[in-house]
Amino acid sequence: MFAPLGYSAPVNCTCGDICVNTTGWWRDGGAFNPSNTPIQHAIEHATAGDTICVKDGTYNENVDVTKSDLTIYSLNGPSVTTVSASLDHNTHVFNIADQTNVTLEGFEIRDARGTSQSVAGIYMNNASECNISGNIVTNISATGSNYAYGIWLDSSSYNSFHTSTVYNLSSANYQAYGIYLDSSSGNSFDASTVYNLDANEDAYGILLEDSSDNSFSSGSISDLNAPTWWDFYSDASSHRNSAEDITISSIATTISFTYENGIMLKSVQTPPADPVDKWNISKYVNVSEVTAGSWIFMNVSYEEGDLGGVVEDSLRLWQHNGTDWTEVPGTNGVNTAENYVYANITEFSVFAPLGYSAD
């Protein structure tokens, strides 16, 4: 007995409710459906609670996640599973809008080029309670007055990001952002890495506008190349945000902080010379205020091997005003059990832990 023309035999789908390869999609026990945008078509045919398993390969499509309660994940991770915006360079690669409880995991996301609008690798608008994990965003660019974003949250709250990597963003005429939050609160970012951002005007590793109660932990920011650049920037309308164990470069320094009324923070490339009778432990950070009422409570972490000849319990945070070093007044000390120097800062400049020589 011959099968009718166009018939496709059922194909096993053992890693999800719907499976996707680079030529199509299928649901377990159902026919294979050829498609040149198989991830998008899988989403369109999914129902609430479905898991979409994406097999190895490069997918040339822009993906609009138009359903809630959906899991989209790659079978073997971002090293072998790429979603490229080569179908339409001039829009976001992944767009999650007006949805809740979406999981997106394990993709290399790339190749958006904004020529008539700003573009992002992952764009979320009015999205909440989503879990974004193990993704790499790269090769996002913009020209003209458009911006390039790695991860862009717009009016999106209570989402979790784990092990996100954003690198190789560029804006030929304007601005580049690694992670940007606008009117987005209650989000958490764990182990986010941002590096190699190039812009003709401004580059920001993390920027918050009108966004509160967000947390950042165990991340790193480096290699921001622009006339104006900040590793972390928050406007004065963003409140109760916190960062824990964020490493900034070029002189690697790990910091934790809370703040209010806006803050700008970045690494130090060329540190000032030590004051007489004080020694540094090769940790520096540059902090600036956004308003007259700005403040930051900051910890600078160190390891035992960083101390060299410095007496550990003599460490305090000092600030350099462009000419001289002075010890930060008020709350200022060292926690030798957990290896960090801390201070409450209300006057801004370059800061470093300094202490007495053991000799």
Distance CA 132, CA 101 (A): 10
User: Is the Cβ–Cβ distance between 145 and 175 less than 8 Å?
Assistant: no
Mean pLDDT, rounded, for 320-327: 94
Q: Where do we find the tokens 């999609």?
A: 25
- For 78-108, write each residue's pLDDT tens digit: 999 999 998 889 999 999 999 999 999 999 9
Q: Is the pLDDT of residue 339 over 70?
A: yes
Query: Which has the minimum average pLDDT: 7-21, 30-44, 163-177, 262-276?
Result: 7-21
Distance CA 19, CA 6 (A): 20
- For 62-77, write each residue's pLDDT tens digit: 999 999 999 999 999 9
- For 146-185, write each residue's pLDDT tens digit: 999 999 999 999 999 999 999 999 999 999 999 999 999 9
- The secondary structure of residue 40, as a DSSP letter, is H
Q: How far is CA 233 from CA 18, 137, 177, 210, 230, in A?
A: 41, 21, 11, 12, 6
pLDDT at position 239, please?
98
Distance CA 81, CA 184 (A): 29
pLDDT at position 8, please?
53
Distance CA 136, CA 166 (A): 6
CA 33 to chain centre: 35
pLDDT at position 208, please?
98
Task: Locate all alpha helices (DSSP H) within the chain, ordered by sequence.
Answer: 38-44
Mean pLDDT, rounded, for 124-140: 98
pLDDT at position 3, please?
37
User: Is the Cβ–Cβ distance between 294 and 235 less than 8 Å?
Assistant: no
pLDDT, averaged across the chain: 95
pLDDT band at 1 (very low <50, low <70, confident <90, very high): very low
Terminal-to-terminal C-alpha distance of the chain: 93
Distance CA 37, CA 245 (A): 40
